[in-house]
Amino acid sequence: MKKVTTPKLVCNITGRDRVTTREYVDGRLAELGVTEVHFYDNYVCKDAMKLLRQGKTVDEIRKQLGSDKKHPISADDIKVFLSLNGKQRGGAAGPAISAREAKFLDQQAKVTVPGKAPEAPKTAAPTKTAAGATK
């Protein structure tokens, strides 16, 4: 007899888990066009997603929702979370993010993640003027 397992989604921010149905997972995979592993690896629960969209930091969300999960989450991870979780916006062109979410991502990109070197600020290369002086 074949053993049927019930899918379980684990939130990357809070560590909370929830049991779901195979139909739900298959529907999300078809809607998002991602692999099952990618979907599971980037799942965020509804409560955490709501707070993330409001502009809360990961640490604020964890504290508010009573999570003791500590692993760092990068701004790139948050972009993926925003694109895969919750109601999708943007239609066939793909999920869009709001101005508030874009501002939040800019702020998160400036936060240093432990174990990851901060990005160096981008500066323009020096240019020469018509008189030959360097700007």
Whether the pLDDT of residue 58 is over 70: the answer is yes
9: confidence class by pLDDT, cuts 50, 70, 90: very high
Q: Is residue 116 part of a domain?
A: no
Whether the pLDDT of residue 19 is over 90: the answer is yes
91: confidence class by pLDDT, cuts 50, 70, 90: very low
Q: Is residue 3 part of a domain?
A: no
Q: How many domains does the chain contain in total?
A: 1
Q: Is residue 118 part of a domain?
A: no
> What pLDDT score does 128 carry?
59
Query: For the chain, what percent of residues have pLDDT higher than 70?
Result: 61
Supply the mean pLDDT for the chain.
Answer: 75
Query: For the chain, what percent of residues have pLDDT higher than 90?
Result: 16
Whether the pLDDT of residue 81 is over 80: the answer is yes
Which residues are CB-neighbours of 77 under 8 A, at least 6 positions away? 12, 42
Which residues are CB-neighbours of 87 under 8 A, at least 6 positions away? none
Q: Is residue 14 part of a domain?
A: yes
Q: Is residue 81 part of a domain?
A: yes
Domain span including residue 47? 8-109
> What pLDDT score does 21 carry?
92
